[in-house]
Structure 1
Amino acid sequence: MIRTDQFLISITCFAAFFPWVTLGFLNFGSDIQLYSTLICTLVLPLVFISRLAIRTGFTFTLDKTFYGVLLFIFGCVFSILMILVKDGVSFDSLRGIFPYLTAILWIVFVSLVSRDYKKYILNTIPFAFFIWFIVGLIQLVYNRDFLVSYLNRTVITSDRGVISLGSEPAYFAMACLCFTIIFFMQKKKVLTFLSFFSLIFLTRSSAVIFPLLLSMALYWGIPFIRTSTKSNLRFLSVLFIFLIILLFMLFLLFSYDLGFFSGMDSSSRIAKLFSMFATLDFSGLIMDGSFNIRLTHYAGSLYYFFRDLGMPHGTLMWPEAVTKFSLNSRIFWDTGLNQTTRINSGLGTILFEGGWFGVTIFLGLYLILTANEFSSLKKILILIILFIFFMSVFSIKIPFLYVTIMLYCTNKMGDIAVNTKDVSSLKISS
């Protein structure tokens, strides 16, 4: 029978995968809702007390990831202080510090529970995925408005993928990416395929698919360059087969209407983007509204970070800053202020609002991810991949990101334990 602590921790991590779902109360107008973080806030003290009760309750402080966690928390705390200093205490400034408070709570929570409770956490994740998958499938084949009343904001258009339980296709794609990573680590082939299938065919989110393809090419491609000729030939053969299959799938997806997949034809946004890359004609890319908002927000936040030598700007200055930045620009033309007054880039947000303290947040995440990585090349690749995804869609306010990161870290520690024949292996098993 499952114990109370196992149940509470499992429920908390399960709730982390539904941050955009609203129940109609405690709604402060943002996409990310309070519910999962509120559950985490209530359960965290109980977890802390239970850790005090056992001798090995805080052994995670001996892990290499602990230093990354400390640096991450340091950056978040001082970013909060900078926002309050720059913006004062108001409803808008309190909304501005919420992502940093969320990040602190979740990084502490998963650090405490990911080692001893990983089995119970992993048992809940397939249920979370199938809820996302089934809702997305129903939206695709039956009704695109299915369950959207439980979301605070929605972006639904005929030329984009479905949103499932996220506010827009990119958020659905983020969830699918995390599911794919977790299932891949567990070696659950069917679930890995289904989650990857959802990422490509249901979300059709260029904001996630293009960074993913680039990251896969970097992570699995570059290390083979330094190996033997035989290994290179084997890798090139696998890569060639993979590309043929991928191109065939994309050909079916973006060139034909598959009947029961309504709207999946060459007129979709991502099909147009693939066409631009295939023909090397990027003139239409700049005019794509969704792409240009992200481009403008990322470029604008970086511009002010370097112009002001990394000084924090707080949260309330952004609308005025991005308006000035995009004024009379032919490239950075869409400020996105008609949709949101927040920065549409995870990395851009922490750099603009927290300045150099935002750099420590990013560096903390990097140290967590590479704490158990011995290859210098892999560390560089992880830095590039982290940069790519935080430049585009990921941000520190997404709870399931921390669950995924810590499961990845426990999996890496398990690999080390297996390689050293340590009987206390932590490897995630299927």
Structure 2
Amino acid sequence: LRSLVNYISIFIIAWATYIVLSDRESFSFNLFKKCVYVWLVFGLVQQFVYRPFGSFLISRLWVGYGDRGMSALAPEPTFYAIICVLFSIICFLNFSNEKEYKRIQILLLIQIVLLSRSATIIMFGGFAIMVYCIFILMRRNLASFMSVIIVTAIMVIIVPILLPYITQYRVGKLLSLFIENPALFITSDDSVNERFTHAFFPIHGFCTNYGLPHFYGNFQEYLNTIYNSGEFSEYISFFRNNSRIMSGFGSIFFELGFIAILLVYIIIHDFIIIGRKRQSSFLFCLMFLIVLLNAMPFSNSLIGFVIGNIIYCSDKILIKKHLSCNVTTHI
């Protein structure tokens, strides 16, 4: 029942978002900034003053010490980073023409890298930037080519220099493990391995079942079968009983089967339309897909909001293009 309601909520929230934005065309930038500042303040207070700050506001809060970062108003640091990524996408979709756009994006980046210190989001974000740079290079103009060369050179120089200084943090440890032996990276850490398990095996189940849905409540049985068969034993170092799929894409592909392709198509197709006006759309599309591949359930209202926002922005571009064509034809 919970899974069914979660999938229904995707449509309802996305539809409501589309209707509201169609009526108002946008929402308050000041309200959005206040949301970003609130999360930033909670993260800063937890970092420098009092770790459990705000714990009474949510059902569970990461207040541990050591190499992991802050969680602000999220249950744990990676979720904090994911919220910041979603805020960044919302900012791009709605407020890229605002004077304070770059400042807000920088504040969100600071929260991801310095406060949440989420190894998952930082490393996947680095991968997204690398793919985006390749995409820029493929455009084959001198400015794009030089920008890719410069960014690559900076990364090659900076990463080895910074690595000894960040090994006390989890992201530094995982990055070191990845550089030392990429093949063993997914089994080097329990959290990494669990995220891999919940992202890979639902997709594997989707493929082996020829795209047919497994429906709800069958993932635990499927994972037990995989684990006991020993077929993928070298890729599984951490295993625990968990009926929920800790991956947005993993859950819809495993439970809904080929129906999930429609949602993925809508997201990518509409981002491509937005990308015709704003080239950086490709990077934000990659980041949104990475968020959905991670432990971000579709039941989270921000996911439905972002999907509705994406559809609205793409439709707005198409409508303007259609009106422009009509005017040109009339003239």
1:130 maps to 37
**In 2, Cα distance between equivalents of 1:358 and 1:150:** 34
- State the AA in 2 paired with 1:365: I
Which one of the candidate residues 77, 86, 92 is aligned to 1:178? 86
Matched, 1:169 2:77: yes
Which one of the candidate residues 337, 342, 357 is aligned to 2:259? 357
When normalised by structure 2's length, the TM-score is: 0.80
**In 1, Cα distance between equivalents of 2:36 and 2:134:** 29
Which one of the candidate residues 116, 132, 136 is aligned to 1:203? 116
When normalised by structure 1's length, the TM-score is: 0.63
Runs of 5+ consecutive residues of structure 1 not aligned to the other structure: 1-93, 257-264, 423-430
**In 1, Cα distance between equivalents of 2:119 and 2:112:** 10
Matched, 1:299 2:200: yes
**In 2, Cα distance between equivalents of 1:234 and 1:374:** 20
- State the AA in 2 paired with 1:202: L
- For residue 168 of structure 1, report the CA deviation from its aligned partner: 1.5
CA offsets, 1:303-337, max 9 Å, x none? Answer: 22122222222221122221221234132243343
- State the AA in 2 paired with 1:294: R
CA offsets, 1:231-286, max 9 Å, x none? Answer: 42244235545x379649x82xx644xxxxxxxx5232211111123334553541
Indicate the percent of aligned positions where both proteins have the same amino acid: 21
Matches within 5 A, 1:246-325: 247=159, 251=162, 255-256=164-165, 265-280=166-181, 282-283=183-184, 285-325=186-226
Runs of 5+ consecutive residues of structure 2 not aligned to the other structure: 325-331
Matched, 1:142 2:49: yes
**RMSD between superposed Cα atoms in Å:** 3.4
| Structure 1 residues 334 and 175, CA gap change in structure 2 (3 angstroms) | same
Is 1:314–1:353's contact at 8 Å kept on the other side of the alignment?
Answer: yes
1:159 maps to 67
**In 1, Cα distance between equivalents of 2:105 and 2:285:** 24
1:369 maps to 271
**In 2, Cα distance between equivalents of 1:102 and 1:135:** 28
**How many residues are aligned here?**
314
- State the AA in 1 paired with 2:84: C
CA offsets, 1:348-400, max 9 Å, x none? Answer: 1001111112222222333333344459x999888766544422244422222
Matched, 1:194 2:96: no
| Structure 1 residues 382 and 123, CA gap change in structure 2 (3 angstroms) | closer
| Structure 1 residues 182 and 239, CA gap change in structure 2 (3 angstroms) | farther
**Higher share in helix:** 2
Is 2:186–2:235's contact at 8 Å kept on the other side of the alignment?
Answer: no
- State the AA in 1 paired with 2:238: D
SS of 1:114's equivalent in the other structure is helix
